[in-house]
Amino acid sequence: MNQPVRIGIIGLGGFAGSHHNTIARLEERGIVRLVCACDPNPSAFSVERQALRFEARGVRVFGDYREMLQACHGDLDYVAIPTPIALHAEMHDAVTSHGLPAYLEKPPTLDWQELDRMVAADRRARKSSVVGFNFIVEKSRLALKERLLSGEFGAIRGGTLSALWPRPAGYFGRNGWSGRLVIGDRIVLDSCFGNTMAHFVHNMLFWTGTPGVYRWADIAAVRAELYRAHGIEGADTFFVEADLSTGCTLRFALSLACAGASASSETVICEKAILRYCVGGQVEVSWKDGRTERIPSGPFDGLEENHLEYCRYLRGEIPRPATTLEDSRPLVVLNDLAHISSGGIHPIPAHLVSMARDAKEQKDYVSVAGMQKTVDNFLGRGIWPSYAGWRRDNGEVVTPADLGRFHGIVREMAAARRAPGP
Ligand SMILES: NC(=O)c1ccc[n+]([C@@H]2O[C@H](COP(=O)([O-])OP(=O)(O)OC[C@H]3O[C@@H](n4cnc5c(N)ncnc54)[C@H](O)[C@@H]3O)[C@@H](O)[C@H]2O)c1
C-alpha cells in the first residue's frame, strides 16, 4: 500500500477552490493528503474551510505562502500553485528553493525570459514540476498522437484551431488581472490565447510536435493580428499563423467576443486523413478514401486526472509529468511572437460590435457581426481580417530572433491603451 502523497495548496479561492475539491476527493480514496493551505486573507474562507473539513483533516492554514513553506516544507511532496499568473514565478521560486516540485497552473508565465528563469529554478527541485495543461493526459489524445507518429495518416501538412468562447462583459472584472497586459513592472498578458483557451493552443503544438509523443512543435515564424471588442487592456480576439520548423503551417483563430454556444475544434491535416478533436465532444478521423472513423473520448475530469498522473510520476511509476516547464516553451514563444507581430491591439470596427443580452443568464455579451465567417475565411483560406477592413496594416512576419523586442512592444501596447484618445 502506497503512503498518500503529501500536498500543500497555495490559495483558497478561484481555481484554487477546484484544486481543494479535487484533493479532498482523492484524500478520501487514500491517494493524497492535504497538509497545508494559505491565502492572504484566510478568514474570508471560513465557510469553505468548514465544508472541506480542514480541522478534522488536520490541514494547517497560513496567511503567507512563504511562512507556510518555511513551516511545512519537510512534510510535503509537492505544492499546487493555482494563483494569478503574475505570482507564478515567485511562488515557484519559493517552492523549488526548498527542493520541492510544483503543480503549477497554466500558463506558467507568458514572458519567455521569465520562463527561462523558471526552467533553471526547477532544476533545484527533487522532481520535475508539472504545468496544469488539462488535456495532454487524455488517453484518446495520447493514442491518436501515437498513431500520428507511426505515419498511419501520412505526413502532417498543417493544422487549425478554431475556438470561440462567448464571455460576458463582466467576465473581465472577476479579479484584478483578467485581460491585463502588465501590472506594475510585471508582464501579465492575460488573454484567450495565452490563458483562457491556452489548453487548445498547447494541444495543437502537441499534435505537431515530433519526434516523440511528449514533444511540442518548434516555432520558426509567426504572423498575427490581435484585436479587442471588450473594454480591456489586452486582446480578446487572435488570428495567428505559425510556421513550424518541420515546414508545416498552423492557423489559430480564438475569440471571447462572440455570442452563442462555446465551441472549439483542433484540426490536424495529414496526407491521408484529417483529424478533428473537440475536447469534451467528437473525435473524428476523415480518411481521404471516404471512410470516417469516430473515436470515443469518454468523460474526463481534467484536474483529477492530472493530479493522479502527477502522483504516479512522483511515486516513480511513470517517467515524466505530462507537461514540464520546458514543454510550455513553444506556447509562450508563440504567444509572445504573436504580440510582437501584431505590433498593436486594434479595436474591432465599431459598426460590427454589438451587445447581445442573454435573457436566461441576465448577462450582456459583446458580439462581433460576421465573426464565424471571418474565422472560417482565415482558417480555411488564409484571408486575414485586415483584408476585410478590420485594420489597415498586416501583422509583421517575426521569428524567435525578434523576441528581444517583446518587453518594449508590450509596454508600448499598455501605454497606448492608457493614452487619451484623439
Ligand atoms: N486548468 C484550468 O482549467 C484552469 C481553469 C481556471 C483557472 N486556471 C488557472 O488557475 C490560476 C488561478 O486563476 P484564478 O482565476 O483562480 O485566479 P484568482 O485571481 O481567482 O486567484 C486564485 C487564488 O489565488 C490565491 N492567491 C492570490 N494571491 C495570493 C497570494 N499573494 N498568496 C497566496 N495565495 C494567493 C487566492 O486564494 C485566490 O483566491 C491561473 O493560472 C489560471 O489560468 C486554470
pLDDT tens track for 257-268: 998 889 999 999
Q: Do residues 215 and 227 make contact, with C-beta atoms less than 8 angstroms apart?
A: no
* Cα(254)–Cα(297) distance, integer angstroms: 23
* Closest alpha carbon to 342 in 391, 306, 293: 391
* Closest alpha carbon to 308 in 15, 25, 14, 16: 25
Which pLDDT band, with edges at 50, 70 and 90, does 1 fall under?
Answer: low
Please tell me whether residue 365 adopts helix, strand or coil conformation: strand
- Return the CATH fold of 5-135: Rossmann fold (3.40.50)
Q: What is the mean pLDDT of residues 77-93?
A: 98
Mutate which of 10, 15, 39, 66 for ligand 1? The one with the most ligand atoms within 8 Å of its CB, which is: 15
Model pLDDT, residue 422: 44
Model pLDDT, residue 358: 82
User: Which cell numbers hold the place of 14?
Assistant: 478561484
- Per-domain residue ranges for the chain? 5-135, 137-297+325-418
Alpha helices (H) along 78-211? 85-97, 112-122, 139-150, 198-207
Q: Is the pLDDT of residue 381 over 70?
A: yes
Q: pLDDT tens-digit profile of 139-157?
A: 999 999 999 999 999 999 9
- Return the CATH fold of 137-297+325-418: Dihydrodipicolinate Reductase; domain 2 (3.30.360)
Residue nearest to atom 27 of ligand 1 (CA): 83
Which pLDDT band, with edges at 50, 70 and 90, does 363 fall under?
Answer: confident
* Cα(273)–Cα(8) distance, integer angstroms: 45
Measured in angstroms, how far is the CA atom of residue 77 from the centroid of ligand 1? 21
Which pLDDT band, with edges at 50, 70 and 90, does 243 fall under?
Answer: very high
Mean pLDDT check: name the lowest of 164-168, 318-322, 355-359.
355-359
Measured in angstroms, how far is the CA atom of residue 269 from the centroid of ligand 1? 35
Averaged pLDDT score across all residues of the chain? 95
Alpha helices (H) along 217-344? 302-314, 329-342
* Closest alpha carbon to 34 in 52, 50, 13: 52
Type of residue numbered 327: D
Cβ neighbours, 10 Å, residue 142: 14
Q: pLDDT tens-digit profile of 101-131?
A: 999 999 999 999 999 999 999 999 999 999 9
Q: Is the pLDDT of residue 421 over 70?
A: no
Q: Do residues 12 and 48 make contact, with C-beta atoms less than 8 angstroms apart?
A: yes
User: Which cell numbers hold the place of 190?
Assistant: 492575460
Model pLDDT, residue 156: 97
* Cα(348)–Cα(361) distance, integer angstroms: 25
Q: Do residues 358 and 252 make contact, with C-beta atoms less than 8 angstroms apart?
A: no
Q: Do residues 7 and 76 make contact, with C-beta atoms less than 8 angstroms apart?
A: yes
* Cα(162)–Cα(174) distance, integer angstroms: 25
Percent of the chain past pLDDT 70, that is, above it, reads: 99
Cis peptide before 4 (omega within 30 of 0): no
Residue nearest to atom 5 of ligand 1 (CA): 15
User: Which cell numbers hold the place of 13?
Assistant: 479561492
Measured in angstroms, how far is the CA atom of residue 360 from the centroid of ligand 1? 28
Tell me the whole-structure pTM to 2 decimals.
0.97
Residue nearest to atom 12 of ligand 1 (CA): 83
Helix axes 406-418, 112-122, angle to 10 degrees: 130
Parallel, antiparallel or unpaired: strands 273-277 and 186-187: unpaired
Task: Name all residues whose Cβ lies below 6 A of ligand 1.
Answer: 10-16, 38-40, 65, 82-85, 87, 105-106, 132, 134, 175, 195
Mutate which of 67, 105, 301 for ligand 1? The one with the most ligand atoms within 8 Å of its CB, which is: 105
Model pLDDT, residue 107: 98
Alpha helices (H) along 225-328? 302-314
